[in-house]
Chain A
Amino acid sequence: MFSIRIVRRPLCHLTMALLLSTICISLSWAGPDARALLKESESRHRTRTQLYAGELTVVNKEGKVRKKGWKSFREGYASDAKNLIRFIDPPEVKGVGFLSLARPGGQNPDQWLYLPSMKRERRIAAQDRDASFVGTDFNYEDMEEFDHEKYKVALKGEQHLDNIPCYVIEAIPVEKVGKSVYEKKILYLRKDNLYLFREDLYRKGEKEPAKRMVLADLQQVEGHWVARKMEMKDLKKGSTTTVLLKEIVFDRPQATGRFTLQNLNREGGD
């Protein structure tokens, strides 16, 4: 059985897009099924580990720009994924860390934020999943690994976006154990490589999407499709967060104990 999952975190999106694109051709002859599409996408784009340096730019509605730099590490995939982000720039925020560890059984992952000034980590509670991730347009749920098995999915049709044909898939959180801040998500998968192209996020009780994520600048790195640019727009606030991915490396062994609280709390630990 395939267990393809769309990964929400930047790297994971890129990986998933890569996977999806490869199954696109094989599915073109038959009437496609949303679950099968997502599984195939995961299968194509799955990687064991991923490292990259991110350049984060937040532009608010007044046009004020804030830039940050981080390093991202991932091990595992979807339901067993471990992620560590360490801010490296500017100096005032250097050392701030974020650790996310997936939990089994469809539960929400454990997440912690480390602040060097306090020399201690703080746990992100379930109630805070909709809080902004350090002032970006991503929230803490957006930072989680996306597991399509936690969603009821349905193919809603096909659509051309920027002249690229896409499958339109509706994903509704099942919420058996873990809760979601979203009522539904609309995923746009490229038909050519089953890579995620766009995602519209609908908050509970809202008819219009609250946020929109677009993956762009799709390139092949070490044999994997990767979107080097990821843009999250808050459609209500009018702000945009862009992550540019650099120095991308796949499937390298990770340092022992990298994804632990001890390492998160270690000054300069990565």
Chain B
Amino acid sequence: MRFLLRTLSLSYVRRHTAKTVLTLLGVIVGVATFSSIESAKGTLVKGIRSTVDRVAGKAQLQITMEGGVPEAVQEQVRALPGIRATSPVIEQIVTPEKGELGSLMVIGIDLLGDREMRDYGFEGDDADLDDPLLFLAQPDSAIFTRQFAGKAGLKSGGSIAIKVPKGVKRVAARGLLTPKGFSEAFGGNLMVVDVYAAQELFGRGRRFDRLDVRLDEGVSIATGIATLEKTLGPAFRVETPGKRGEQMEKIVANFVAGFNISSGFALAIGIFLIFNAFNVAVNRRRRDIGTLRALGATPRQVQLLFLAEALVIGIVGGLLGTLAGTTFSQAFLKMMGQTTETLYGVTSSGIVHLPPVVVLESLCLGIIASLIGAWGPALTASRISPTEAFAKGTFQARPPGRSGLRITVGVIALGSAILMALRPPFGGNPFIFTELLLGGAGIVLLVGPLTLLLLLGLVPLATRFAPVAGRLSGDTLLGNARRTSGTIMAMALSLTFVLGLGGYMGSTKKALERWMNDSLTCDLFVRASANFNRPDFLFPGGLRDDLQQLPGVKSVESFRAIRPLYQGRQIQVTSIEYNLLLERIKYDFTQGDVAAMRRGLIQEGKCVVSDNFSRRYKLGVGQRVELVTPSGKVSFPIAAVVRDYGSDQGTVMLDRSQFIRYWQDDRVDIYDVSVLPGSNVGQVRDLIRTMLAGRYPALVSTRQEFIAEITKALDAFYALTRVTLFLALLVAFLGIVSALLISVAERTREIGILKALGAFPAQLARGIVLEALLLALAGLVLALPAGNLFAFFMEGPLAELFTGWIMSHHYPWEILLQLLVALPLISALAAWIPARQAGKMKIVEAIEYE
């Protein structure tokens, strides 16, 4: 085998270096996409957990509560038996004024007694802080890690400007942490402040984000949890840091899951490129195969030879792809991290170190993809008889297979996928996997026959516009049906992915835009924080009266959202003054009506739920939602179900009076301000800014600005998807280049004859460009319905499964338009190298070829 590889395979590689490189590139791009996404994803999830673990230090349990843990709870917990120590914590992400330093995680801790929880590594003890008394006495005191201080050029005693809710604030470095344990959290971008200073800085009032608890020796975690739960009641969550990390991972699971589809697609397209390349290689080397067979090689040996080649390509491509993936992964991680922080309020940080598991997985996938791609062609090669191999042209002339059976199986697979999507027999990942498998198999099986059918219609059309080039390209494409259908299959898959994902993105965006236009109808939004999901600062409830007094203000509503756990999922509970809100918003009801909603929320203490909440938890009007509040478990009857896109896990809406009653917390996220008719919105905005200046952080946005900001945050979410779309197009481009190069090489003799007969290089180039255009066009035509099906699947059953949302389909016309412009350009570009190669061919050498 080694001899065969060295003589036959190596000589083929030497003769067709460009083609081999292109095949290799297919594997590299596929594996790079997979490994970069996987390692970024892994680092993100690991970063979330590691940050939770490191910050937790020696804490065995953590107590949290929606809206923050009241200070008094600390004394209550300290007095309990079995509690060794408690320590309050406030966590917040801020950015230094010098943005290039990256986000900083601010940890507010009680420096008087936190050493029971965390190892600070002050190179000795507290005394190595510049001056502990000065640290406590001055509210601008902060401790930085040496790592960050080095990056920021910060020395002990120096100061740095950071952006906090109240504006830009200078903080003084009064201590430096040695990078070990706790200080390695959040990639070392850590700033430690006194917890009471953090309360003031981030508007926490007299609350902490959580209380870390260390138990006495011999007290089990279960006992500790039971004692704390019994004492504190159901409004408090008592969990181990590990469990909390898991919970955070769950929150970002939906976001992360989307990337599995992207990397799966990238690999699938890579497999088709390999399949195509090996198909052609078998075709081109049929004489070698014939010779081998004539010399006594068994079919199994021939098959093994091709599979061994695939193995080598898989290993090399896997290795290179993994390396290439590492370079992209940091950028992926940055984008993912920003999105999870903005959309989910979950923080993570870290530098992507390629985990050995991902390296191994990427390598294995590269190898498996190569072997799968090469399996069919290798099998075909093994079945070539010596006589057939030496008879020129018989191979191309062979029909591509039993198309009747293929079409039947394809139709059944695709039909089953569509039927399953309409009426899912089961849910979860098995459903998604079965859908993708059946749908993918159906499309793969049908693309070949459909390609031929399509080309038979397209070629005459092309010939009418460009008689010579059209005929030349048509003959080439139809003359080698296997190669053509392989290329178009890769192309169609890429475009299906692009159109499907684009369609899904478009539909989601449209649905959200429509919802925002319907529900965000007031004139001004007064926020204390730019972060939608994890506000840096909350306004006091009493501020509403002050705002109400301003000239030009018609009404002010106080919006508050919290994100408690409901049946293991983080839902959203919102509250506002519904008597005012219902005057200006028209809800889209799926159950109940506006009268029932008004009566239920304002008079009867009921709740209203979003349609995705209703679908997810199978609850509707008349049924009850049991929520855990600081006042105990409260069961709210559902008054109506409305369409709402506020949370992908479902929203429960309550009147503000009910929220204050049960949560005993009147703080406000956003004040919605409506101005009097005829009043100038800009002037009212200035008045609000003047009133709040120096008192509270305030971002005052007009309706348009507010919607634009939310849209921007959503765009960041989709930016990652766009990157994967780009990669899919790159793979498609490689597919066309590789197919055309092979096509030119195969037609060397034919090109030589054409040139001898007087064909100009430009005419030949036109033929090749037309060939590329036909490939792209056929791929696009086939991808149109497939992409639509994929989009329907994504925004229908898949979205419903993950979010409970049902969106109306919005066809991605803009993406189609972009493709119609981009594809001819990509095709022409892809045809450039093969056309140049064809133009440079010497007539004599070309005619002598073969």
Contact = CB atoms under 8 A, between A and B. Distances in A.
Given A92-B134, A117-B138, 15 more contacts: A58-B127, A113-B136, A120-B196, A122-B196, A125-B78, A126-B78, A127-B84, A127-B86, A127-B116, A128-B112, A128-B113, A132-B126, A137-B127, A237-B124, A237-B125
Interface string B76-97: 0010000011100000000000
B78 A127 contact: yes
A118 interface: yes
Tell me if B's interface is mostly helix, strand, loop or mixed.
helix
B136 A96 contact: yes
B157 to A, nearest CB: 12
Contacts of A134: 132-133, 136
Interface in B117-139: 124-129, 131-134, 136-139
B127 A118 contact: no
B136 A115 contact: yes
B27 interface: no
B197 interface: yes
26 contacts: A60-B127, A66-B131, A92-B134, A92-B137, A95-B137, A96-B133, A96-B137, A113-B136, A115-B137, A117-B137, A117-B139, A117-B197, A120-B196, A122-B110, A123-B75, A124-B112, A125-B85, A127-B84, A128-B113, A132-B126, A132-B132, A135-B127, A135-B129, A135-B132, A237-B124, A237-B125
Contacts of B78: 125-127
**Most B Cβ at <10 Å: residue of A58, A61, A113, A127:** A127
Interface in A124-182: 124-128, 131-132, 134-135, 137
Interface of A: 58, 60-61, 66, 68, 87, 92-93, 95-96, 113, 115-118, 120, 122-128, 131-132, 134-135, 137, 234, 237, 239
Nearest to B196: A118
Contacts of A135: 126-127, 129, 131-133
Tell me if A's interface is mostly helix, strand, loop or mixed.
mixed
Range class of the B interface residue count: 20 to 34
Contacts of A58: 127
Nearest to B141: A117
**Most B Cβ at <10 Å: residue of A58, A113, A118:** A118
Contacts of A234: 127
B218 to A, nearest CB: 16
A134 B132 CA distance: 6
Contacts of A125: 78, 85-86, 113
A122 B112 contact: yes
A118 B200 contact: yes
Which 10 pairs, one residue from A and one from B, show the smallest C-beta to C-beta distance? A128-B113, A135-B132, A134-B133, A127-B85, A117-B139, A93-B137, A132-B126, A118-B196, A93-B133, A135-B133
Contacts of B46: none
Given A127-B78, A134-B133, A237-B125, A113 B112 contact: yes
B115 interface: yes
B634 to A, nearest CB: 33
Nearest to A239: B127
Contacts of A122: 110, 112, 196
B205 to A, nearest CB: 12
Contacts of B75: 123
A116 B131 CA distance: 17
B138 A131 contact: no
B78 to A, nearest CB: 6
A126 B84 CA distance: 9
A93 B132 CA distance: 10
Contacts of A61: 124
Contact of A68 (B112, B124, B133, B200): B133
B134 A132 contact: no
Nearest to B135: A135
A123 B49 CA distance: 32
A134 B112 CA distance: 8
A131 B139 contact: no
Contacts of A96: 133, 136-137
Nearest to A127: B85
A58 to B, nearest CB: 7
